[in-house]
Amino acid sequence: MANVSLKQVSKVYPGGVRAVDAVDLEIADGEFVVLVGPSGCGKSTTLRMIAGLEEITSGTIRIGDRVVNDVAARDRDIAMVFQSYALYPHLTVRQNLEFPLLRRRRHAGRLRALLSPAYAKARREEIAAHRERVDAAAKVLEIESLLSRKPKALSGGQRQRVALGRALVRDPAVFLLDEPLSNLDARLRLEMRAELRMLHRRTGGTMVHVTHDQEEAMTLGDRLVVMKDGVIRQTGTPIEIYERPADSFVAGFIGTPAMNLVEGLVQATGGNGEFVARRGRDEQAVAWRFPMSATRADAVLAGSTGRAPRPTTLGLRPDAVRVLASGETGDGGATGASESPASEALVLDATLEAVERYGDRMDLVLDANGVRLVSRSNVPVEVAEGSTVRVELDLSKAHLFAGDGLGARID
């Protein structure tokens, strides 16, 4: 087992496409790190550079104490699981599992075995030892009964297990997993997630896992690395990233349903401030506004010259948007935008556009005067689609991001 370290690693393809841009990443020994991001963000390229399947344009990659920039994939002591599993179709499951061990055979010579009994004995022992390892890995993954089959005769989940087994059998310094679950159906994916965690616990191996599925990332990783356009946007534990997303992209990418991101601006009003939500793309049209405390407004306006109104994005997780039952007034009390500055909640009228029911919870898609909001409710809300409801926004849970290109978090 080993740690992995990337320093200022970049990948530029011929033609100038910068797939990975100056990535710094430290992965501790035994850590389960998930690289997550939308497709084309550079996460797979990063993984393939660690594997040695892709040359790096600049920077340094270390595995353990060794700089591996110029080390061939076969000499990096890594194991990799591919999205397509990449099982050798002409070999049985057992032969697939044995394949990575072939290189370690010190007594491979068949001819020499014929000539030297001692060598033959060593060879037999070695073969037996390798057999045991394969059997052990097969047992862990519960594929013992499949060992004599060929990959064609296996289901997707079984192939996945064999692919994992092939990585497991040789005890590598690092496991690299390239979207290993995305070819599985939803139920199997959940099962395999748990299995992966279990495997990580049992082997204690360093694992680098790539996925575009943020939920998979959240549930699997000790630590998440969120990437976009070849750049790391945030690194942290799943909770850190969920609770304090570093920018509006991370905020919107992590969490299901996605965080509500409302475009608008923050301006000073007397001693306090207020957030003005924009309606659609129109800069002038005001959907609604809400007051904010002086400290918060100051934090935002500190970033603009002469306390001029500053474009800002307001982020609210769906569980901070609550549809009020009829008769309930909510903490905001007043209707529309006429509420007391001290209040941290806002009550609005909104049209219920659609309802998604999950049984134990439901997601409500709302239109609050031209701003689309998603609310998550754990209690049943019996309102017909198309009718008007009252919605309470819990502003104590609001995140604020700069309204410029990068959308950095404002605290």
Partner 1 sequence: MAETVSPLSSLLGNLRRIGGMILRGVLALAAITLVAWSFWRVGAREFSRLGEAVATDDIELVVMHWSGDGGPEEDAIVEEALARFETEHPGVRVRRINPGDAGSFYTKLQTMLVAGEPPDVFYVGAERLSNFVELGLLAPLEEFVGAGDDEAASSFDLGAFFPATVDAFRYDGDRVGTGPLYGIPKDFTTVGFYLNLDLLKRAGVEPPGDDWTWDEFIEIARRVGELPDATGAEFVTWPVMVRVYLWTQGLDVVGEDFDDLRLDDPAVVAALETLRAWRHEEENTLTSGRSRVASGSAVFQTGRVGMAGPFGRWVVPAYSTLTPDESKSAGEIAFEWDFLPLPRGSERANVVLTVAWAIAERCEHKREAWELVEFLTSAENQAAQSRLGLAVPTRRAVAESDAFLDESVPPANDRAYLDAAEVARVAEWPVDPRFEQLFGSRMDQALRSGDLSLADAAEDFEANWRRVRESPLADADRPTMPWNAVAIAAAAVLAVGGFAATWRLRRGAPATTGARAEERAGWWLASPWLVGFAVFMAFPIAMSAALSLTTWNGVSTLGEASFVGLDNYRELLVHDRRMHTSLRVTAYYALLAVPLGQIAALAAAMLLHAKAPATPLFRAALYLPSVLAGVGTAVLWRWVFDGEDGLMNAALAPLLAPLGVEPPQWFGADAAWFGPPAFAIMSLWTIGGSMLIYLAGLQGIPKELVEAAAIDGAGAWRRFRNVTLPMLSPVVLFNVIVAVIGSFQVFTQAFVMTGGEPGDLTRFYVLYLFNLGFESYEMGYASAMAWILLVVVLLLTVAVLRGSRSLVHYEGLKA
Q: Which residues bind partner 1 (CB under 8 A)?
A: 51-53, 72-74, 76, 78-80, 82-84, 86, 88-90, 99-100, 102-104, 150-152, 166, 170
Give the span between the Cα atoms of 24 and 7, in whole angstroms. 5
Give the span between the Cα atoms of 114 and 123, in whole angstroms. 11
Dihedral of the alpha carbons of 221, 226, 231, 232, in degrees to the nearest 10 = -60
The dihedral through the CA atoms of 244, 249, 236, 218 has a sign that is positive
Q: Which is nearer to partner 1, 55 or 404 (CB)?
A: 55
**Residue 147 Cβ vs partner 1, minimum distance, rounded to whole Å:** 16
**Residue 82 Cβ vs partner 1, minimum distance, rounded to whole Å:** 5
Which tokens is 100 given? 């990575």
**Residue 4 Cβ vs partner 1, minimum distance, rounded to whole Å:** 15
Q: Which helix (H) or strand (E) holds 44?
A: helix 43-51
For 45, the 3-state DSSP assignment is: helix
Q: Which is nearer to partner 1, 74 or 121 (CB)?
A: 74
Q: Rounded to whole angstroms, what are the CA distances from 316 to 99, 109, 257, 300, 369?
A: 51, 66, 11, 17, 17
Would you tell me how many other CB atoms lie within 10 Å of the CB of residue 279? Answer: 18
User: 């799943």: which residue's tokens?
Assistant: 238
Q: Identify residue 45 by its one-letter amino acid code.
A: T
Q: Which is nearer to partner 1, 2 or 276 (CB)?
A: 2
**Residue 149 Cβ vs partner 1, minimum distance, rounded to whole Å:** 11
**Residue 87 Cβ vs partner 1, minimum distance, rounded to whole Å:** 8
Q: Which is nearer to partner 1, 53 or 127 (CB)?
A: 53
Q: Which is nearer to partner 1, 100 or 291 (CB)?
A: 100
**Residue 58 Cβ vs partner 1, minimum distance, rounded to whole Å:** 21
**Residue 80 Cβ vs partner 1, minimum distance, rounded to whole Å:** 5
In 3D space, the residue among 175, 168, 172, 179 whose CA is nearest the CA of residue 143 turns out to be 168
Give the span between the Cα atoms of 411 and 399, in whole angstroms. 8
**Residue 53 Cβ vs partner 1, minimum distance, rounded to whole Å:** 5
Q: Which is nearer to partner 1, 72 or 115 (CB)?
A: 72
Would you tell me how many other CB atoms lie within 10 Å of the CB of residue 16? Answer: 6
Q: Which is nearer to partner 1, 77 or 367 (CB)?
A: 77
Q: What are phi and psi of 74, to 5 degrees?
A: -70, -20
Q: Which is nearer to partner 1, 80 or 374 (CB)?
A: 80
Which tokens is 149 given? 């089959």
